[in-house]
Structure 1
Amino acid sequence: MRHGKKDNHLSRTHSHREAMLQNMASSLIMHKRIETTVAKAKELRKFVEPILTRAKEDNNQNRRVVFQTLTNKETVKELFGTVADKIANRPGGYTRIIKLGNRQGDNAETCLIELVDFNELLISAAAEKATATTRTRRSRRSGGAKATEGAEVAPATAEATTADADAVEAPADALPADAEVAETSPAAGDDLTIIEGIGPKIAEMLNNAGITTFAQLADADDATVQQVLTEAGPRFNVHDATTWNEQAALARDGKNDELKELQDRLKGGKE
């Protein structure tokens, strides 16, 4: 019996499994990103992350232990050089798994496993999002401050009160135009929650990523959508986004009957 044994042997002998993980770890360190199956990626993550932790402290003992595991001088040099500098301030979680769907042939679930600190695209997107959030908060403070200043300097005399009333009446004509803009701006996007598998939270994340309409979701590739789910955390990364493009295309073309039939089939498959 194998009670309490959580390791996946991957249908290999001990020596074959260790050699395979050793080679995959070297490829990941050298190329920063490799494509493999989800089962292998999960085992590789448990194998390589302790090695990356050792590389953060460059001393003779750690180099010996890492070389004993990887047995590749070029990999050890890259690990204690470029990689160690990048992950120096990260307390753990050095790798990311991005699911790609099932491959043809054996229908195995495939994925990308990469070093988090070497994905420049996601790093720059996170920085831009943080900058945009900071600007929004500042604008709200400035607007509140202006409103407070206007309330403090309100005149007490009757003439000044009349002048203020005239001044208020002038922009009052512009209020309906602003209201129309506020009403029409949400209409630019579609209700993505119609798609099976997309809830309000995922729809909000897609909108933040620039996917607001059925047409944009239909044209988006699976890797982009999966990256959005991965950034949201493991709670959302379990969603299967492979059919969202097809559903969005039907919703975009107004084929509601075909969309409902497809969703009924998807719900039946889940049960």
Structure 2
Amino acid sequence: MPTPKKGPRLASSPAHERLMLANMATSLFENGRIVTTLPKAKRLRPLAERLITFAKKGDLASRRRVMRVIRNKSVVHKLFTEIAEQMQQREGGYTRIIKIAPSKGNNAPRAIIELVTEPVSAKQSVVKEAQTAADVAADKAEVKKTEAKEAEVAADVAADEAQVEEAKAKDNRGKDEVAADVAADEAEVKETEAKEATAEAKEAQVDQDVADDEVQVEKAE
């Protein structure tokens, strides 16, 4: 038979132990306090505080999780409505163990385990509010830091886009200048060709005049 992980087993079997702890937790939530042996109180305390933590969440999954241990629906309702509301300001320590006189029969150590229903002190409330405010301020600072980073990234992107546009404009200006130079060169070539054609025409006219003069001389002779 397997042995429990923490301390000796409180019952004849693990199933019996789980059932016994569940019954003790039910009585604790129903009455607010119970008297039992000290080992049982120490074993009950973490289970009871875990169930209270589930109750503080208040969702359906937590209620079903608690119902796996506490079978009494009225006790579960009280746990989720009354006890969870009383423990809402506490971060832990929902129960306390008070040692009392040992049992007269076998001298077994006994103790009272009860719910801590006293309101949280004003100092603890102020500390919690200050911690909450500090957390909110830290979250806001983180949001502003993120926004600043996003703005910086957007500025870098805009600067890169501006550089790209400037490079495109320079390329376009360069292309226009090259096109203008090519057009000027072509115009100059055409002008040169026109001048050459004019000169050839003049030479041809001179040759024609010389030929006409020779013809007239031959006719005269």
Normalising by structure 2, we get a TM-score of 0.51
Spell out, residue by residue over 1:8-53, the C-alpha distance to the aligned partner (whole angstroms, 9 max, x if none).
3114211111111000000000111111110000000022111110
Name the residue aligned to 1:56: 56
Does 1:45 find its partner at 2:45?
Answer: yes
Name the residue aligned to 1:115: 115
Percent identity over the alignment is 41
Spell out, residue by residue over 1:238-259, the C-alpha distance to the aligned partner (whole angstroms, 9 max, x if none).
xxxxxxxxxxxxxxxxxxxxxx
Q: Which of the two has greater helix per residue?
A: 2
Whose radius of gyration is greater, 1 or 2? 2
Query: Counterpart of 2:20 in structure 1: which amino acid?
Result: M
Query: Counterpart of 1:55 in structure 2: which amino acid?
Result: A
Spell out, residue by residue over 1:175-199, the C-alpha distance to the aligned partner (whole angstroms, 9 max, x if none).
xxxxxxxxxxxxxxxxxxxxxxxxx
Does 1:101 find its partner at 2:89?
Answer: no
Distance 1:73 1:98, change over 3 A: same
Name the residue aligned to 2:203: none
Query: Counterpart of 1:19 in structure 2: which amino acid?
Result: L
What is the SS of the residue equivalent to 1:62?
helix
Query: Counterpart of 1:78 in structure 2: which amino acid?
Result: K
Query: Counterpart of 1:112 in structure 2: which amino acid?
Result: I
Distance of 2:76 and 2:7 partners within structure 1: 26
Distance of 1:22 and 1:63 partners within structure 2: 15
Query: Counterpart of 1:83 in structure 2: which amino acid?
Result: I
How do 1:136-215 residues align onto structure 2 when only pairs under 5 Å count? Answer: none
**Displacement of 1:4:** 9.5
Moved over 2 A (4+): 2-5
Distance of 2:80 and 2:5 partners within structure 1: 32
Distance 1:4 1:103, change over 3 A: closer
Spell out, residue by residue over 1:30-78, the C-alpha distance to the aligned partner (whole angstroms, 9 max, x if none).
1111111100000000221111101101111111110111111011100
- Pairs aligned (count): 123
Normalising by structure 1, we get a TM-score of 0.42
Spell out, residue by residue over 1:75-132, the C-alpha distance to the aligned partner (whole angstroms, 9 max, x if none).
11000011010000111111000000211001011111000115xxxx69x89xx9xx
Distance of 1:105 and 1:34 partners within structure 2: 19
Does 1:66 find its partner at 2:66?
Answer: yes
Task: Work out whether residues 3 and 9 of structure 2, in 8 Å CA contact, stay in contact via their aligned partners in 1.
Answer: no
Higher relative CO (Cα under 8 Å, sequence separation at least 6) belongs to 2
Name the residue aligned to 2:19: 19
Distance 1:103 1:69, change over 3 A: same
Task: Work out whether residues 8 and 43 of structure 1, in 8 Å CA contact, stay in contact via their aligned partners in 2.
Answer: no
Gaps of 5+ in 1: 131-271
**Displacement of 1:5:** 2.7
Distance 1:4 1:67, change over 3 A: closer
Task: Work out whether residues 99 and 110 of structure 2, in 8 Å CA contact, stay in contact via their aligned partners in 1.
Answer: yes
Query: Counterpart of 2:68 in structure 1: which amino acid?
Result: Q
Gaps of 5+ in 2: 124-221
Distance of 1:75 and 1:3 partners within structure 2: 31
Query: Counterpart of 1:76 in structure 2: which amino acid?
Result: V
Name the residue aligned to 1:259: none
How do 1:244-259 residues align onto structure 2 when only pairs under 5 Å count? Answer: none
Please, what is the CA RMSD of the aligned residues?
Answer: 2.5
